[in-house]
Structure 1
Amino acid sequence: MYAYELLYRNGDTPTANVDNMNPFSGDAATSSVITQLFTNLDMETILGNKRAFINFTHNHLVQQIPNLLPKERIVIEVLETVKIDQNLIKNLIALNKLGYKIALDDFIYRDELKPLIEIADIIKIDVLNLNKDQIARQLDPLSHFRGKLLAEKIEDKNQFGHCVDLGFHFF
């Protein structure tokens, strides 16, 4: 196993209940995850020697908030909903040069993602309900990607085998 994904949960519900129309809602969720991990919980007990995938918002990334966290313990996860602009790209490049790992979450190719593909160390693809051909089509634009591929939401051994055959590194 490479890492754990740490997700925000609000109360007793199994979902985050983050208001995507309110940009500060995501900021608060990420801040809560970071605060819990680094102040209220024993990071070593939770993570052992593994990393933590943490979702970061556009605001947190352009403010270099991940720079406050240990680069050897986290993977900066860029959600598919994050606004892509030159400020974001510049800050992700800077974080990557400092040694932070960058992951693109729920990747579905769009032209505007090209600069992020060049920066990313890991690309996460949700393979739920996809057959081998559909997964392969998701990978077509990544033929020059030098990082690692992570398959999310594998439901059975058959789909796992397809992902192995297609070159995924993490599951």
Structure 2
Amino acid sequence: MEGFFLGRQPILDRNQNLVAFELLFRQEETEESVRITDDLSASANVIINAYCQLGIQNVLGKQRGFINANPELVMSDIISLLPSKHVVLEIKETATVTPEFMQRCNELKQKGYQFALDNIVEMNSKVEQLLPVVSVVKVDVLALEQNALTKLVTELNRWPVLLLALKVESREQEKYCMQLGFQMFQGYYFAKPEVMAVKRADPGKLSLLKLLTLVMGDSDIEELEREFKHQPGLSYNLMRMVNSVSSGLPQKINSIKHAIMILGRKQLQRWIQLLLYTANQSDDSMSNALMQTAAARGKLMELIATAERPHDKNHQERAFMVGILSLLDVLLGIEMQQITDRLGIPDDMSQALLTREGRLGQELKLIEANEKGEIAAIQSILSELGFLSLSELADIEIQAIEWANRIGEAAN
């Protein structure tokens, strides 16, 4: 299977929950590679990669996988490799629709397989012939003007099928398709094919972002306490965290106000940043992985800043914050520009987060290169910085990871 790999494009529902993936066959491009035009070969490769190489659970999790299925694949025994609960077979109206093909589709439907009709731009006799066997119709919304799209949706609504808006590339397109009643959405507006997960901002995280803004804006303790009281779950999380790291104190911390006073503003800011990665996550492994990475980034940024300016606490604190915030756009599913605007952070930190420029930006670039194991980039940035060696970076990285692991244990 060398030279082949699998792409996944997320399919979302009306609330931007992940409900399925389209599995996309990809061929590694080399000078010698011949473009594969045999659809059966492409689909077979997707299946073999999904089931044998990567493990279907790793590829799909609990979601279904949409797989392109041309008539040869539908008629072949390869279908028996695919448990019906895992897949939706995508057929195209351009397929040669023979009585044998329709009979096979009906047989597979009886066995629990679902079909989707792919890339529809108009109603015609072939589409009408295929509609009785399909559960989902994927409409190419990019190819249609609004009037034509509205007309097509009206015609399709006569059938008991779910409508999926395909090739959604802008907020406006999504909004219009929502108004037309589409139930599912797919396209570069949501995620490019190789993105392996989709996250969305939930109320808990947005409240935490508001709290972070209040802390950074020097709001008084009463205002912070009021905001915490709106989110009992977050209050409980904070109390647990504060108690777990304050075990040396003579008494347990039993109020939000007490917790804020014990922690102090800077530490509270840190805890809120870390809580952002643990609040209300349905996928615990994802939330833990993100929190660990964010915590390690923050600490490593702080240790690099300490090596650069040992007595500048303010610089170290800002470096920590850049590290922590650098994954917040991934977590919340919103643009980093919106986050920096909402938090009103200083220019050098915004510059680092948005464009990886400036001293802090360069240090963040170093950490990202380090995470990917890009040795040439690491050495190049280290020589530009001029105050840290590769072995010193390795030493402080171990310190940062140990610190992040302790934080992770306290959060669980």
1:8 aligned residue: 25
The structure 2 residue matched to 1:60, chosen from 73, 77, 96, is: 73
Does the alignment pair 1:77 with 2:102? Answer: no
Amino-acid identity (%) = 29
The structure 2 residue matched to 1:165, chosen from 164, 179, 183, is: 179
Kindly indicate whether structure 1 or structure 2 has the higher relative contact order, using CA contacts under 8 Å at least 6 residues apart: 1
Unaligned runs of 5+ in 2: 1-17, 186-412
Q: SS at 1:144's partner residue?
A: coil
How far apart are 1:129 and its partner, in Å? Answer: 4.8
Query: Match for 1:4: what amino acid?
Result: F
Query: Match for 2:120: what amino acid?
Result: F
Name the structure where helix makes up a greater proportion of residues: 2
Is 1:122–1:148's contact at 8 Å kept on the other side of the alignment?
A: yes
Tell me how far apart the structure 2 counterparts of residues 118 and 17 of structure 1 sit (CA, whole Å): 34
Name the structure where strand makes up a greater proportion of residues: 1
Give the 3 Å change call, closer, same or farther, for CA 129–55 of structure 1 in structure 2.
Answer: closer
How far apart are 1:26 and its partner, in Å? Answer: 1.1
Tell me how far apart the structure 1 counterparts of residues 101 and 119 of structure 2 sit (CA, whole Å): 18
Structure 1 segment 76-95 matched on structure 2, within 5 A:
76-95=89-108
1:137 aligned residue: 151
Residue correspondences, number: 164
Taking only aligned residues, the RMSD between alpha carbons, in angstroms, comes to 1.8
Tell me how far apart the structure 1 counterparts of residues 154 and 101 of structure 2 sit (CA, whole Å): 25
Unaligned runs of 5+ in 1: 20-24
2:289 aligned residue: none
Query: Match for 1:151: what amino acid?
Result: A
Tell me how far apart the structure 2 counterparts of residues 126 and 152 of structure 1 sit (CA, whole Å): 5
If the length of structure 2 is used for normalisation, what is the TM-score? 0.38
Give the 3 Å change call, closer, same or farther, for CA 97–64 of structure 1 in structure 2.
Answer: farther
If the length of structure 1 is used for normalisation, what is the TM-score? 0.88
Q: SS at 1:150's partner residue?
A: strand
Tell me how far apart the structure 2 counterparts of residues 155 and 137 of structure 1 sit (CA, whole Å): 21
Is 1:67–1:95's contact at 8 Å kept on the other side of the alignment?
A: no
Q: Deviations over 1:76-112 (max 9, x none)?
A: 1102432111111111111111111110000132202
Is 2:93–2:130's contact at 8 Å kept on the other side of the alignment?
A: no
1:153 aligned residue: 167
Q: After TM superposition, what 4+ stretches of structure 1 lie above 3 angstroms from structure 2?
A: none
Q: Which has the larger radius of gyration?
A: 2
Q: SS at 1:7's partner residue?
A: strand
How far apart are 1:75 and its partner, in Å? Answer: 0.5
Tell me how far apart the structure 2 counterparts of residues 159 and 128 of structure 1 sit (CA, whole Å): 8
Tell me how far apart the structure 1 counterparts of residues 91 and 66 of structure 2 sit (CA, whole Å): 10
